[in-house]
Amino acid sequence: MMHEENEVVVIQSYALISSRISRDLSWYLVYEAVMTAKEALRPDTVTMDLPDNKSELYRYALKVYLQRAIHKHLFPRTHVELTMQGLQEAMEHFALSMPLAPTFKLATYLNYLESWAREHTDWTSASPEAFDNLEFELSL
């Protein structure tokens, strides 16, 4: 699917994104946006609670950061617009797709994904090793 330089891609469903990249990258893309928004707005780090007046700002920031990540990794030559429905689906996808694993395994995998992402900007042409295919070794 080629896109022109000035074209706008409107994402109404996160399925458009999750179908173009690996399963792990589809939740990691949302994770990356969540962490960036969290860092920018600095909610209570233990509960992630925001005062009511910042809650809407957080959702907007999350939408903007996710749009930027989608633009950077999937549609670099187009303007990306993510609808609120698309954002909601992205958050649900993130919650349902992120591996449920012991903390050390998940933290190790997140570090791996972070370094993989730094080396690969086009996520449609390459994929990291899948979480389910990795073996983790705990050394003391």
CA-closest candidate to residue 21, choices 39, 41, 1, 51: 1
In a domain, 78, yes or no: yes
> Is 127's pLDDT higher than 80?
yes
Domain count, the chain: 1
The predicted-structure confidence for 49-70, as pLDDT tens digits, reads as follows: 666 667 788 889 999 999 999 9
Q: Where are the beta strands (DSSP E) in the chain?
A: 8-11, 79-82
In a domain, 84, yes or no: yes
Report the pLDDT averaged over residues 28-39: 92
pLDDT score, position 50 = 60
> Is 39's pLDDT higher than 90?
no
The predicted-structure confidence for 91-106, as pLDDT tens digits, reads as follows: 999 999 988 877 778 8
In a domain, 122, yes or no: yes
Give whole-number Cα distances, 40 to 43, 45, 55, 75, in Å. Answer: 9, 12, 13, 24
In a domain, 3, yes or no: no
pLDDT score, position 17 = 94
Q: Residue 16 is part of which domain span? A: 8-133
Q: Is residue 122 helix, strand or coil? A: coil
Q: Taking all residues of the chain, what is their mean pLDDT, rounded to a whole number? A: 85
Phi, psi dihedrals of residue 9, rounded to the nearest 5°: -100, 115
Report the pLDDT averaged over residues 32-58: 74
pLDDT score, position 109 = 87
In a domain, 139, yes or no: no
pLDDT > 90 fraction of the chain, expressed in percent and rounded: 52
CA-closest candidate to residue 30, choices 105, 88, 115, 101: 88
pTM: 0.80
**Cα–Cα dist 101/121, whole Å:** 27
User: Per-residue confidence at 48, pLDDT binned at 50, 70, 90?
Assistant: low
Of 63-67, 78-82, 115-119, 133-137, which gets the smallest average pLDDT?
A: 133-137
In a domain, 2, yes or no: no
Q: Which residue has the tokens 């960036």?
A: 36
